[in-house]
């Protein structure tokens, strides 16, 4: 760097600040020793972490055992397991309407179907996309970018783009009109709206999973394929006998990752449908948000209890993921 | 040319000969072209729509490009009149302005000679349409609504949160990778464990903590809970582990303080990992929605994402403004994507983190 570049202009003042900080820190180092400095470096992160992640995690349990609408813990009454039993009070678990908290069970049911359909379609489409991107394609990075591009978009943008397309005067109806079909108000139909939530979340996140699967595919040793080719193995057999088994650990991680994200579905769907029409696209996170904050009859204790139930599911899924990761590592070492 | 085409359309071919079309070749290209349309189409449609006037947006069937019906102000008439191509009985076409319509007959005037009324059957006239970009969709929300505030809030949250994230996470990663101390593995375990604590699980108690600290309705309430990312500590620590300890020992011999070692030696060497984390952090914070929605309840504090969702949820949605602001919200992420895609894709493929 011969001329003062933009970087050095920016770094100049920062360096000066760092030099000023250095003097008191040297004194601190003298007092605590080198080991003590480790605590100093770790402290800010752990402090923020403790206040904004660990503490909430702990008081969430306390919250779930208190009642009332106040937010400050000191103003809340202890009710024991009442919130949980309220959530679980049902005559028939398969019919949400027979439950006291029918919205909760509707959300559980919706989330269940959403996760089941979205994750299976997600894995299927992501796997196909990754297999195609793994072929000898010209401009492969361009094609990869095509599928990956929506991943970075904000959920609000995704929701609004699709709300605009599914409108009565939207692009989808325009397409149908070109084929001589009648326009339809998609977002007022329960089933179509539910299908749209799955389609939109596929559109938004498929590229992410395709990318991870692609990395897995590229890690499969090429000589295996060369050997198979020399033996004249049929391509379908190569796929079932080489690609799929060697991809399996990677694929399992992707499945669990997709499950974890899918259970928490909220942002783009909230913007797209607001949970409607009716409660047809009300999912768990939205239930927690509305019970805790948004509705007139807000009940933070109930929301905390529901969030702990959801958290339990997520912890189980994460433990499975870690277990798979361990097994994969051990395999690699052997 | 032939070679280029061959390269672009490289395929397995029937019987693996590279000639002809195997079904997988057909499928590949159907998938790729279909993907191109489905992935890019909606965003392109959004951009085109955002340049249309409210009248053009309400039209069905819509046009792809933004067209408006031309109007002209004509002497003797207060309001601007719509211009039409009218077919005359003698077969010629004239550009006429419509004064009023009575049943199937339109009364029109020639803009050049406004005195004489021409009667035209309404089926014999078509509106004169010209392409026009409704750029005030973009300027008005900034001038008359709070979108300039929202934009500023979003930029503030993104930049400040990213800077704090980089500093705090790199300090923690430095401690966890370069020092031996009691409780190191415990700290590491705690950080990894919280990877599985998403916001949706702790939002109720987190909200009460934020209110207790007086950070409700403050941008700091949006920033602080997000900055101690376990992901960031993890990425940076993995990278710092590859820096040889001998380098640090040599600096200590030269009387460098630990802070100087962190600042002058370790941080510069960690630049690639810091860059990846910075890119991710910018995208995360720019896109954050649920938490700002909970913490910010005053209009002038909304971030772009919150403002957009609130405005789009109103009864009379002003789509022309919403669409334009959606494009504005999309721009930074698209820029990041175009210029830094390589970092992001390798970052995701390497760590499986989004």
**Could you give the number of structural domains in chain B?**
3
Who contacts A51 (Cβ-Cβ below 8 Å, separation ≥6)? B209
Phi, psi dihedrals of residue B46, rounded to the nearest 5°: -60, -45
Question: Per-residue confidence at A331, pLDDT binned at 50, 70, 90?
Answer: very low
Among chain A residues, CA nearest to B289: A267
Q: Is residue B237 part of a domain?
A: yes
Same domain (yes/no): B82, B39: no
3-state secondary structure of A114: helix
Task: Record the pTM.
Answer: 0.85
| B213 and B316 part of one domain | yes
Chosen for mutation from A20, A36, A56 (greatest number of chain B CBs closer than 10 Å) is: A56
Q: Which domains does chain A have, with CATH numbers?
A: 82-333 (1.10.3720.10)
Domain of B119, in residue numbers: 67-131
Please tell me whether residues B191 and B126 are part of one structural domain. Answer: no
Look at residues B47, B42, B43 and name the one whose alpha carbon lies nearest to residue B133. Answer: B47
B77 plus B44 within the same structural domain: no
Domain-located, residue B34? yes
CB contact under 8 A, A29 and B204: no
Is B73 part of any domain?
Answer: yes
Same domain, B42 and B119: no
Q: Is B183 left (phi over 0), alpha (psi -120 to 50) or beta?
A: left
Asked if A135 lies within 8 A of B337 by C-beta distance, the reply is no
CA distance B259 to chain A (A): 6
Q: Are residues B97 and B182 both part of a single domain?
A: no
CA nearest neighbour of B330 among A153, A245, A187? A153
Is residue B59 assigned to a domain? no
- How many contacts, defined by CB atoms under 8 Å, are there between A and B? 287
B236-285 pLDDT, tens digit each: 998 899 899 999 999 989 888 889 999 889 999 998 889 889 988 998 99
Does residue B54 lie within any of the structural domains? no
What is the reported pLDDT for A198? 95
Mutate to test the interface with A, among B176, B187, B205, B324 (most CBs of A within 10 A): B205
Q: Does residue B126 sit in the same domain as residue B141?
A: no
Q: What ipTM did this prediction achieve?
A: 0.85
Per the CB < 8 A criterion, the answer to whether A130 and A143 are in contact is no
CB B270 within 8 A of CB B236: yes
The confidence band for A122, taking pLDDT boundaries of 50, 70 and 90, is very high
With 70 as the cut, is the pLDDT of residue A211 above it?
yes
Number of Cα atoms under 13 Å in the Cβ half of residue B116: 5
Residue B187 lies in a domain: yes
- B39 min Cα distance to partner chain A (Å): 6
Chain B residues within an 8 Å CB radius of A39: 175, 181
Distance CA A15, CA A20 (A): 9
Q: Structure tokens of B130?
A: 């010209």
Contact flag B60-A168 (C-beta cutoff 8 Å): yes
- Dist CA A128 CA A118 (whole Å): 15
Predicted pLDDT of residue A326: 67
A33, closest residue in chain B (CA to CA): B258
Q: Are residues B108 and B80 in the same domain?
A: yes
Average pLDDT over residues A53-71: 86
pLDDT for the residue numbered B150: 92
Same domain flag for B256 and B155:
yes
Q: What is the pLDDT of residues B215-249, one digit of tens each?
A: 999 999 999 999 988 888 988 998 899 899 999 99
Tokens for A151?
Answer: 């991943």
Answer yes or no: are the C-beta atoms of A56 and A274 closer than 8 Å.
no
Question: Which residues of chain B are modeled with pLDDT < 50?
Answer: 1
B144 and B284 both lie in a single domain: yes
Q: pLDDT (tens digit, 9 = 90+) per residue, A181-209?
A: 887 888 888 999 999 999 999 999 999 99
Please check whether residues B192 and B330 belong to one and the same domain.
yes
Partners of A21 on chain B (C-beta within 8 Å) are: 259
Residues of chain B positioned with their CB less than 8 A from the CB of A203 = 38-39, 42
Q: Does residue B94 sit in the same domain as residue B121?
A: yes
pLDDT for A334 equals 37
Cβ-defined contact of B43 to A235 (cutoff 8 Å): no
In a domain, B61, yes or no: no
Cβ pair A173:B169 closer than 8 A: no
In whole angstroms, what is the distance from residue A56 CA to residue B294 CA?
Answer: 15
B20 by DSSP, 3-state: which? coil
């Amino acid at each position: 760097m011969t001329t003062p570049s933009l970087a050095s202009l920016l770094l100049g003042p920062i360096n000066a600040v760092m030099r000023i900080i250095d003097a008191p820190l040297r004194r601190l180092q003298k007092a605590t020793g080198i080991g003590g400095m480790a605590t100093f470096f770790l402290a800010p992160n752990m402090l923020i972490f403790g206040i904004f992640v660990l503490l909430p995690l702990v008081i969430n349990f306390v919250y779930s055992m208190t009642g009332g609408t106040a937010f400050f813990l000191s103003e809340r009454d202890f009710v024991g397991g009442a919130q949980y039993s309220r959530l679980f009070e049902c005559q028939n678990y398969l019919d949400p309407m027979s439950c006291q908290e029918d919205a909760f069970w509707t959300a559980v049911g919706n989330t269940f179907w959403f996760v089941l359909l979205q994750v299976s379609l997600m894995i299927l489409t992501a796997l196909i996309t990754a297999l195609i991107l793994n072929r000898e394609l010209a401009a492969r990075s361009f094609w990869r970018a095509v599928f990956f591009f929506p991943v970075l978009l904000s959920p609000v943008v995704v929701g609004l783009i699709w709300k605009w397309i599914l409108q009565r005067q939207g692009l989808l109806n325009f397409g149908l009109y070109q084929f001589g079909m009648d326009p339809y108000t998609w977002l007022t139909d329960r089933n179509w709206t539910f299908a749209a939530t799955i389609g939109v979340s596929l559109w938004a996140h498929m590229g992410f999973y395709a990318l991870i699967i692609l990395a897995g595919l590229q890690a499969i040793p090429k000589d295996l394929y060369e050997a198979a080719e020399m033996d004249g193995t049929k391509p379908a057999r190569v796929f079932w006998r080489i690609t799929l088994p060697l991809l399996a650990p990677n694929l399992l991680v992707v499945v669990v990752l997709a499950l974890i994200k899918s259970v928490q579905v909220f942002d783009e769907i909230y913007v797209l449908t607001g949970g409607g029409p009716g409660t047809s696209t009300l999912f768990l996170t939205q239930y927690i948000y509305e019970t805790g904050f948004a509705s007139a009859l807000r009940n933070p204790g109930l929301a905390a209890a529901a969030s702990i139930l959801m958290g339990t599911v997520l912890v189980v899924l994460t433990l499975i993921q870690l277990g798979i990761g361990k097994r994969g590592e051990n395999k690699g070492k052997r | 040319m032939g070679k280029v085409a061959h390269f672009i359309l490289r395929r397995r071919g029937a019987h693996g000969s590279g000639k002809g079309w195997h079904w997988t070749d057909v499928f590949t290209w159907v998938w790729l072209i279909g993907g191109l349309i489905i992935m890019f189409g909606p965003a392109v449609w959004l951009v085109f729509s955002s340049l249309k006037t409210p009248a053009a947006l309400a039209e069905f069937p819509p046009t792809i490009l933004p067209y408006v019906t031309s109007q002209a102000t004509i002497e003797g008439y207060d309001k601007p009149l719509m211009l039409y191509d009218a077919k005359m009985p003698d077969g010629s076409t004239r550009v006429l302005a419509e004064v009023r319509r009575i049943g199937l007959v339109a009364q029109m005037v020639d803009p050049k000679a406004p005195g004489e009324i021409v009667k035209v059957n309404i089926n014999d006239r078509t509106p004169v349409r010209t392409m026009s970009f409704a750029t005030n969709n973009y300027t008005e929300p900034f001038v008359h609504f709070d979108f300039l505030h929202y934009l500023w809030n979003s930029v503030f949250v993104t930049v400040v949160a990213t800077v704090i994230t980089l500093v705090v996470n790199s300090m923690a990663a430095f401690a966890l990778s370069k020092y031996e101390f009691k409780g190191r593995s415990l700290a590491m375990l705690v950080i990894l464990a919280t990877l599985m604590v998403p916001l949706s699980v702790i939002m109720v108690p987190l909200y009460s903590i934020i209110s207790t600290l007086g950070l409700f309705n403050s941008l700091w309430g949006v920033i602080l809970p997000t900055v101690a990312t376990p992901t960031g500590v993890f990425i940076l620590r993995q990278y710092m582990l590859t820096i040889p300890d001998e380098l640090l020992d040599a600096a200590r011999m030269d009387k460098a303080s630990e802070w100087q070692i962190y600042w002058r030696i370790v941080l510069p060497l960690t630049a690639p990992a810091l860059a990846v984390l910075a890119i991710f952090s910018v995208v995360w914070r720019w896109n954050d929605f649920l938490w700002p929605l909970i913490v910010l309840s005053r209009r002038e504090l909304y971030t772009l994402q919150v403002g957009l969702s609130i405005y789009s949820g109103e009864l009379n949605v002003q789509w022309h403004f919403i669409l334009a602001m959606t494009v504005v919200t999309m721009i930074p992420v698209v820029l990041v994507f175009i210029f830094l895609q390589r970092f992001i894709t390798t970052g995701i493929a390497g760590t499986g983190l989004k």
